[in-house]
Structure 1
Amino acid sequence: MKVEKRNKAPAKRLFYRIGEVSKVTGLEDYILRYWESEFKALAPLKNKAGQRIYTQEDVDLILKIRELLYKDKYTIAGAKKEIARKISRKRTVKTQIDNQLAFELENDEAIAIRETLETVKQELNDILNLLRV
C-alpha cells in the first residue's frame, strides 16, 4: 500500500473530522479507525452525532504512527512500544519540569516572605524607637 505524504496541514482548529484527518495524513478512514483499536493513546472524542473529532495532538500522533509503520517499517507491536516509550518519556520530562517550577515557586515565595518579615522587623524597630523618645 502506497501512502502519499501530504504537505498541506489543515488550518489550526480545535477539532478535525475523520475525513479532514484522512486527507492531511494520506490515510484511509478505515485505517484511522483500525489504529484507534490498536493504539490506546489514539482515542479521538466523539461529538453528539457520534462522529469522531480529532485534536491537533491526535493528528500529530497519527503522523508519528504513520512514520513508524510506513517509513521506519515497524510492526504494529513495535510501533505500540515506541509510542508508549515516547509518551512515558514525555510524562517524565513534564513531571521534572513541574517539580522544578514548584521548587522555584516555593523558593520565590520564601524570598518574598523573608523580605516581608524584614520590612515588618524594620517597622517594629522604628515604632520601638519612637516609643523610647
Structure 2
Amino acid sequence: MDWLKIDQVSKESGLTKRTIRYYEQIGILPPPMRSEGGIRCYTQEHIDLLIKIRNAKEALGFSLQELQYFISLGSAIEANKIDYKQSFEPAKQKEKLIEIINNIDQKLILIEKKIDKIENVRKELLDLKKRAQTVVEKMNMENFEE
C-alpha cells in the first residue's frame, strides 16, 4: 500500500492541508495511520473520499452537517454492498439490497432539497431580470416619444 503525506493529498484533492485536518477533526474524513514519527499516512481512498466531499460541497453547496450525513450514507452503502457480496443467503442479500436502496433514497432526498433551493433562487433572479427589462423598455419608449 502506498502511503501519502498530507502535501500530496492536498495537491491531488484540491483542498488545503488545514481543511483536510479539519475534516479529520470533525469526523468527515477518517483519521489516517501515523508513522512512528507521528506523520499522517494517507491512502488513495482518503483522496477519493476528499474529492467526493469537495464535489458535494462545491456542486451541491452542502453545509458541513449535510456533508457528514451525505458521507455517512455513502459509507453505509459501501458497507451494505460488501455484506451483500459476502452473504450467500437470499434473505440476507435482499435485506442488504433494501438497506442500499433506502440509503440511496436518503442521498437523493438531500440532492432534491438542494435542487429545489437552487430553482427558487433561479426563479427569483429571472423575475428580477424581467422586472428590470420592463423598466428599461418603458424608459426606451418614453425617450422615443420625446
- When the two structures are superposed, what TM-score results if normalisation uses the length of structure 1? 0.62
Distance 1:65 1:93, change over 3 A: same
Aligned mate of 1:70, from 44, 58, 65:
58
Residue 45 of structure 1 deviates from its aligned partner by: 1.0
In structure 1, stretches of 5+ residues that fail to align are: 1-12, 104-133
Distance 1:96 1:26 in 2: 33
Residue 85 of structure 1 deviates from its aligned partner by: 0.7
Q: How many pairs are equivalent?
A: 90
User: How large is the Cα RMSD of the aligned pairs?
Assistant: 1.7
Residue 71 of structure 1 deviates from its aligned partner by: 2.0
What is the aligned partner in structure 2 of residue 86 from structure 1? 74
In structure 2, stretches of 5+ residues that fail to align are: 91-146
Distance 1:39 1:53 in 2: 17
Distance 1:40 1:65 in 2: 8
What is the aligned partner in structure 2 of residue 43 from structure 1? 31
Residue 40 of structure 1 deviates from its aligned partner by: 5.0
**SS of 2:41's equivalent?**
strand
Residue 63 of structure 1 deviates from its aligned partner by: 0.8
CA contact (8 A) 1:15 1:55 kept: yes
Distance 1:27 1:86 in 2: 20
- When the two structures are superposed, what TM-score results if normalisation uses the length of structure 2? 0.57
The percentage of aligned residue pairs carrying the same residue is 24
CA contact (8 A) 1:45 1:52 kept: yes
Instruction: Indicate the structure (1 or 2) with the bigger Cα radius of gyration.
Output: 1
Runs of 4+ in 1 over 4 A off after TM superposition: none
CA contact (8 A) 2:3 2:43 kept: yes
Aligned mate of 2:22, from 34, 54, 57:
34
Distance 1:56 1:31, change over 3 A: same
Q: Deviations over 1:11-49 (max 9, x none)?
A: xx6111000111111211111100101225421111011
Residue 52, structure 1, aligned to residue 65, structure 2? no
